Amino acid sequence: MIGVLDNEASASVRSHGDEQYGRRIEADRSWTIYHVFTGIPASQEGLEMIGLSRSVATDGMLSLNCRNERRRKEYMNGLLRVSVLLQTARAN
C-alpha cells in the first residue's frame, strides 16, 4: 500500500519566481512530477515528466525544488540589496 505522504507535496505560499513540485502515482502505477499549484505535469527540456519510476520521480522533484529554492533566494537577496540602496540614497 502506498503511504499518504507519497502523493502529497508540502506547498508553501507562492511568491514571485517560486515554483513547488510534488510527485504523484498514476492509475497505471507510474509516477508524475507536477506543479503543486496547478496540478499540471512538470516539463524539462520540452518533455513532460510523466511515466516515471518512483525513484526517478523523487530525484526529479527534489532537484526541481532545490533549483527553485536557489532562484527564490537569489531573487530575495536582490530585493534586499535594492532596499538597502534605496535606504542609503534616502539618508544622503
Which element (helix H / strand E) includes 67? helix 54-91
pLDDT of residue 92: 67
Report pLDDT digits (tens) over 13-62.
444 455 899 999 999 999 999 999 999 999 988 999 999 999 999 999 99
pLDDT of residue 76: 75
- Answer whether 24's CB lies under 8 Å from 41's CB: no
Report pLDDT digits (tens) over 68-87.
888 777 777 776 676 766 77
Residue carrying the nine cell digits 516539463: 43
Question: Where are the chain's structural domains?
Answer: 4-91
Q: How far is CA 80 from CA 15, 50, 73, 76, in A?
A: 15, 38, 10, 6
Number of neighbours of residue 61 by Cβ within 10 angstroms: 24
